[in-house]
Amino acid sequence: MNKHASTTSTVYLLRHAHSAWARPGQRDFDRPLDERGVGDANLVAAAFAGVEQLPAIILCSTARRCQQTCEIILSHLPNSPNVQSRDELYSNDHAYYVELLSKQSETPVLLIGHNPMVEDTARFLSSSAKNRAAERLQKGFPTAGLASIEFDVSMTQIKDGGHLAEFLSPKRLRKKALKFES
């Protein structure tokens, strides 16, 4: 099935990777990724680069940790999708995230944002999911967590919900790598 057809859509939701604590006088908005965050972002980016349908567009918060996460993702992709940096992704709720996603004409879409908005968006868009990915999502949305949600409708209709196809975390990817090495 062609995911770019007008009757199907894919949304990837990525929470920014782990960031450093704010230094005295530093705004939360300006916190960079820490060493763990850089490693986790690279791990998830390498796995993401292997998905069947890479994003046509990336919507990314302008917060420093999201921008750095986006740069790492882009460094692993074979070609660069259109990237739109959005100030509003820093402070708006999941309703804004869903509304912004539903206005996109290209698919797949990757949104890089913050919690609790990313987690709330994933739960809202895949509320009927009853699979292993949904079980993992119920435990929380870790930094550098990546959800893949598929819809049998166009982007304008995603508010009706879709199927949580996959939910990856750096912890899960490390476990899979250890099993593979054994």
Structure confidence at residue 134 (pLDDT): 82
Structure tokens that stand for 49 in this block: 């680069």
Structure confidence at residue 179 (pLDDT): 65
Structure confidence at residue 169 (pLDDT): 94
Q: Is the pLDDT of residue 4 over 80?
A: no
Structure tokens that stand for 95 in this block: 């309703």
Strand pairing class (57-61; 109-113): parallel
Query: The tokens 């739960």 sit on which residue?
Result: 123
Count of structural domains, the chain: 1
Structure confidence at residue 121 (pLDDT): 97
Query: Does 125 map to a domain?
Result: yes
Q: Is the pLDDT of residue 131 over 80?
A: no
Mean pLDDT of 100-126: 96
Q: Is the pLDDT of residue 132 over 90?
A: no
3-state SS assignment for residue 67: helix
Cα separation, 85 vs 116, whole angstroms:
19
Q: What is the mean pLDDT of the chain?
A: 91
Q: In 38-127, at which residue ranges do the beta strands (DSSP E only) sit?
A: 57-61, 82-86, 109-113
The CATH number of the domain holding residue 65 is 3.40.50.1240
Helices (H), 19-63: 35-48
Segment among 91-100, 158-167, 172-181 with least mean pLDDT: 172-181
Query: Does 132 map to a domain?
Result: yes
pTM above 0.85, yes or no: yes
Mean pLDDT of 32-58: 96
Cα separation, 140 vs 143, whole angstroms:
10
Q: Is the pLDDT of residue 3 over 70?
A: no
Structure confidence at residue 101 (pLDDT): 98
Q: Which domain does 78 fall in, by range? A: 28-147
Cα separation, 58 vs 69, whole angstroms:
12
Query: Does 143 map to a domain?
Result: yes
